[in-house]
């Protein structure tokens, strides 16, 4: 499931799945094994001035959230 919503001067994106999940604290192990997807997502969100949030645990799927300030109207 994926969704986006505006709230005031911010936009919030949410991507959720009901897969096997994983321990987010084991992220460095994923990178050591060549899995860079979540690290790259975080870097891109933060480079764009956004906030990145990841929630997961084994057996419980994954939720990835990103939020950004909307540009001011000229």
The pLDDT score that the predictor gives to residue 30 is 73
The pLDDT score that the predictor gives to residue 27 is 66
pTM: 0.80
**pLDDT higher than 80, residue 74:** no
Question: pLDDT for 22-55, tens place per residue?
Answer: 887 766 777 788 878 888 999 999 999 999 999 9
The pLDDT score that the predictor gives to residue 39 is 86
Dihedral (CA of 30, 35, 38, 44) sign: positive
Higher pLDDT, 4 or 24: 4
Contact 67, 45 (CB under 8 A): no
């Amino acid at each position: 499931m994926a969704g986006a919503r505006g709230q005031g001067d911010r936009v919030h994106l949410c991507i959720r799945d009901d897969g096997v999940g994983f321990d987010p604290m084991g992220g460095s192990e994923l990178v050591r094994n060549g899995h860079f997807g979540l690290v790259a997502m975080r870097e891109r969100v933060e480079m764009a001035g956004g906030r990145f949030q990841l929630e997961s645990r084994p057996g419980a799927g994954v939720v990835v959230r990103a939020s950004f300030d909307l540009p001011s109207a000229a």
